[in-house]
Amino acid sequence: MYRTHTCGELNRSHETIEVTLAGWVARIRDHGNIQFLDLRDQYGFTQVVCSLPELSQDLLDILKEVKPETVLQLTGTVFLRSQETVNPKLSTGEIEVKLSSLTILSTTQPLPFEIGESSEVGDATRLTYRYLDIRGDSLKETLLFRNLFLHTLREFFFQEKFIEVETPMLTRSTPEGARDFLVPSRLSPGTFYALPQSPQLFKQILMVSGLDRYYQVARCFRDEDLRADRQPEFTQLDLEMSFVEQDDVMSLIERFLQYTIAATTGITDPISFPRYTYSEAMERFGTDKPDLRYTLEMQDISSLCQGSGSDIIESLLSQGGIRAIVLPRGEPISLKEIDLLHQHVKDSGGQGIGWIRVREEGIQSPLKKMLRPEWISKIQKSLNLLPGSLLLFLGGEREWVCRTLGEVRGRILQKFPLEKNNMIQSCWVTDFPLFERNRDNGSLQSVHHPFTNPIPEDIPLLESDPLRVRAQAYDLVLNGVEIGGGSIRIHHGPLQERIFSLLDISKEESEEKFGFLLKALQYGAPPHGGFALGLDRLIMLLCKKDSIRDVIAFPKTQKGVCLLTSAPSSVDFRQLRDLRIKVDVPAKE
């Protein structure tokens, strides 16, 4: 055998035992007649003592060939360290192994960077040599945490009587908001499979199949532009339940998060899950992904703005009202920064942002000369504007004001170190609009997906006023990041066909793309609903990382390139010929 113990398990109880270890040399420290090797494997480090005068010439010759990241097998005896040399930071810090034999299992080329120092190395180098990056503690510990989380996840759903079902990776192309990755079929030339954007249709069909509770750790694929929290392939927790309402699904997810976070992080304090309707979230935070660690909220100050003396404010009131955010400690936001916010509002279609800064000697504002003193006193008292406060306000059409002032709020939170609660802060956002207008052609499109059930009392509005129809949809937000979403699904075929019609999907097209679902709904579909949670995003937040690339073993760049394998790549002409594919791309491209 290559080893009797790992490099992370030896302790006082192993004193005087002869052991065999295998791993990588992390460090070499030369002290004349004594040399120390720190041997590393996945489980930890063990200090190995090489007493050079006591070693044979053959062993000394082997030692001369050893350098950092050489792979070794060695045998030695476990001794206790002296009290002053104990390393409390290591699980093996009380012992050391005195070397008696050594074999080099593998040598190494000069390293592109030192293991464990990859944070100072460019991303391109780290991704090209990802296997070396994983050897360091940070990324390796993240992958170990991910493994523990997935184990705990499965433990939870087994207890909740869910069954794990693997749905197909090769399926048909169906529009779900992003581009599909297509896979050509050799056996049916000219036809293509699609890699799944989600298992949505299959999990609904599983409910029709009579499987009451399904879940899957699903691999999903979307051919879309990438950001810090997006990859072309990602992992999500996917689940579906029969005979449930919205509260049943949300309650299950709350229990799931409480259980897994406590088991993997040790955070056992109850997590609160306040609920906001989409409308309420937009009015208070200007976003449907509010970060509740910050207390900064927007508020409607229209009633306070009457009688200000400013024609500008009066004009804004007549256009739809005025909303504001109050920064009690607004001193760090300079006039230059306010000008940048002002320009952002103008770029968004407005006339700019209004502001009032309160100082000991009075107020500072471009509108100061127009504002009545009694109004200034009223606004200061009503909004508790103490010296140091900064009031930012915006007026106009309500929806635009909420969205744009929310963007201003987001820029402030991103740039300035305002006080925040660093604990986990989660919330639900519900009652989304079922439809929205496509910005390019004005047609209706689904806010989530076309299989979402409308709120029952809004169904009469489907044809007459579709933009007022609310969805039985719910998103989960954690520290300002949407980590998942779900909905109660349509389980009546005629209603599903009505939704397709409103989305300008003809009967012929719906039959071609979704005929298998529509047929299944004709054979006794139960009421059902589900949820999908982005595991990469959730683990990123729990590990306090800035990008999901830091919690994925082999991620891709923002251009969708795997630097480790140089994928995507061109393929042999014979492969294209077998698939009946002709590549119409100039050689230069």
User: Looking at residue 175, what is its pLDDT?
Assistant: 60
SS3 at position 488: strand
Least confident of 13-22, 60-69, 114-123, 415-424: 415-424
For the cut 90, the answer to whether the pLDDT of residue 61 exceeds it is yes
pLDDT of residue 492: 96
Residue 118: its pLDDT value, please? 59
Give one DSSP letter per residue of 26-46, joined into a string: EEEEEETTEEEEEEEETTEEE
In this structure, how many other beta carbons lie within 10 angstroms of the beta carbon of residue 414?
8
> Is residue 439 very low, low, confident or very high in pLDDT (cuts 50, 70, 90)?
confident
Per-residue pLDDT at 224: 85
pLDDT range class, residue 589, cuts 50, 70, 90: low
Residue 587 has pLDDT above 80, yes or no: no
Write down how long the chain is: 589
d(CA 98, CA 74): 10
What would the mean pLDDT of 440-456 be, rounded to a whole number?
93
116 confidence band (pLDDT: 50, 70, 90): confident
Task: Provide the pLDDT for residue 174.
Answer: 77
Rounded Cα distance between 21 and 102, Å, is: 10
Question: Which of 3.40.50.12780, 3.30.70.20, 3.40.50.720, 3.30.930.10 would CATH assign to domain 140-275+425-574?
Answer: 3.30.930.10
β-pair partners for 476: 428, 484
Is the pLDDT confidence value at 420 over 80?
no
* DSSP symbols for 177-203: SSBPPEEE-SSSTT-EEE--S-SHHHH
Q: What is the DSSP letter of 553?
A: S
First CA to last CA across the chain, in angstroms? 52
Q: Considering the domain 294-415, what is its CATH architecture?
A: 2-Layer Sandwich (3.30)
Q: Helices 246-265 and 535-542 meet at what angle, rounded to 10? A: 40
pTM over 0.75: yes
Third-level CATH fold of 12-106:
OB fold (Dihydrolipoamide Acetyltransferase, E2P) (2.40.50)
Tens of pLDDT, residue by residue over 175-213, are: 656 789 999 999 999 999 999 999 999 999 999 999 999
Task: Tell me 156's DSSP state.
Answer: H
Alpha helices in 216-300 (DSSP H): 246-265, 278-285
Query: Tokens at residue 100, please?
Result: 């008696």
Residue 575: band (very low, low, confident or very high) from pLDDT cuts 50, 70, 90: very high
Kindly indicate the confidence band of residue 529, based on its pLDDT and cuts at 50, 70 and 90: very high
- Measured between alpha carbons, how far is 497 from 490 in angstroms, rounded to an integer? 10
Average pLDDT score, the chain: 93
Residue 62, number of CB atoms within 10 A of its CB: 17
**Residue 312: C-alpha distances to residues 270, 348, 358 (Å):** 47, 19, 20
Determine the pLDDT at residue 423.
80
Domain boundaries along the sequence of the chain: 12-106, 140-275+425-574, 294-415
CA distance 467 to 469: 6
pLDDT digit string, tens, across residues 373-411: 999 999 999 999 999 999 999 999 999 999 999 999 999
Upstream peptide bond of 454 is cis (omega within 30 degrees of 0): no
Look at 550 and 589; give whichever has higher pLDDT: 550
pLDDT tens-place string over residues 15-46: 999 999 999 999 999 999 999 999 999 999 99
Helix (H, G, I), strand (E, B) or coil at 507: helix
For residue range 305-342, what is the model confidence (pLDDT) as tens digits? 988 988 889 888 988 899 999 999 888 899 999 999 99
Name the residue type at position 291.
Answer: D
Rounded Cα gap, residues 409 and 326, in angstroms: 10
- 346-355, long-range: CB within 8 Å, 24+ apart, which pairs? 348/400, 348/404, 348/407, 349/400, 349/404, 350/394, 350/396, 350/400, 350/404, 353/392, 353/393, 353/394, 353/408, 354/312, 354/313, 354/316, 354/392, 354/393, 354/394, 354/395, 355/390, 355/391, 355/392, 355/393
- Write down the pLDDT at residue 586: 75
Which amino acid is it at 240?
E
